[in-house]
Amino acid sequence: MKKTEKKREHQADVPFWENTPLSRMTRKQWESLCDGCGLCCMEKLEDADTGVIYVTSVACRYLDLESCRCRIYENRTYINDVCVELMPGSVEHYHWLPETCAYRRILAGKPLPSWHPLICGSAKQMKKAGATASDRAISGESIHPDDLYRFIDYEVPSK
Ligand code: SF4
Ligand code: SF4
């Protein structure tokens, strides 16, 4: 077998997230990277003086905590003005994304978590690992924004 053929065969064995930069992924590849954990939808507070972000254990009121799906997905950025739409070029600006977030990990050159649906073929292992908002969040529907500080889970230092 020629060297170039061998190389091509090897590349075909490598999963796309290991050899394709975020900016070169197809729409389908990009969407499949999201594990649907919902952890990016936790309410956050920001200290205007220090830039420190406090991530709470309260989920956005639009997150369905059973399915971890956004109830307003198609119009989310119109309806919720603090909702962000992740793009290949914007991931680096959101340093508050959870460490398990596939986009954050790929950008940092890290492997996907072993429970990621792309590796396991389903979300079963992810649920088993307790890696979704359903496992740790309370719904934002019943929490007044002024009370969010009571539910601070962890802080993310400013960049
Ligand atoms: S944290 Fe990342 S992987 Fe999880 S739902 Fe949000 S964008 Fe998707
Ligand atoms: S509007 Fe939807 S996507 Fe945006 S933070 Fe809320 S639940 Fe998440």
The mean pLDDT of 18-47, rounded to a whole number, is: 96
Q: How far apart are CA 116 and CA 134, in angstroms?
A: 16
Q: Which atom of ligand 2 is nearest to the CA of 80?
A: 1
**Position 38: which residue type?**
G
Note the pLDDT of residue 135: 87
Other residues' Cβ atoms within 10 Å of the Cβ of residue 154? 12
**83 CB less than 6 Å from ligand 2?**
yes
Contact 74, 84 (CB under 8 A): no
Mean pLDDT over 19-41 rounds to 96
Overall number of domains in the chain? 1
Confidence (pLDDT) at 159: 78
- Do 42 and 153 touch, CB atoms closer than 8 A? yes
Q: How far is CA 157 from CA 47, 48, 51, in A?
A: 10, 12, 7
* Residue 136: band (very low, low, confident or very high) from pLDDT cuts 50, 70, 90: confident
Most ligand 2 atoms within 8 A of CB, residue of 62, 103, 139 to mutate:
62
Identify the residue whose C-alpha is closest to ligand 2 atom 3.
70
Residue 4 has what pLDDT? 59
C-alpha dihedral over 110, 154, 138, 128, to 10 degrees? 40
* Residue 12 banded pLDDT, cuts 50, 70, 90: low
The string of pLDDT tens digits covering residues 57-107 is 999 999 999 999 999 999 999 999 999 999 999 999 999 999 999 999 999
Please tell me the predicted confidence (pLDDT) of residue 33: 97
The residue-averaged pLDDT of 3-26 equals: 80
What range defines the domain where residue 125 resides? 3-156
Buried b (16+ CB within 10 A) or exposed e, 44-78: beeeeeeeebbbbbbbbbbbebeebebeeeeebee
Q: Helix or strand or coil: residue 103?
A: helix
Looking at residue 13, its pLDDT comes to: 85
Q: Regarding predicted confidence, which is higher, 13 or 4?
A: 13
Averaged confidence pLDDT in the chain: 93
Whether the per-residue pLDDT at 9 is higher than 60: the answer is no
Q: What is the pLDDT of residue 5?
A: 59
> What's the burial of 131, exposed, middle or buried (CB within 10 Å: 0-12/13-18/19+)?
buried
Q: Does the pLDDT value for residue 8 go beyond 80?
A: no
Q: Which ligand is nearest to the CA of 98?
A: 1
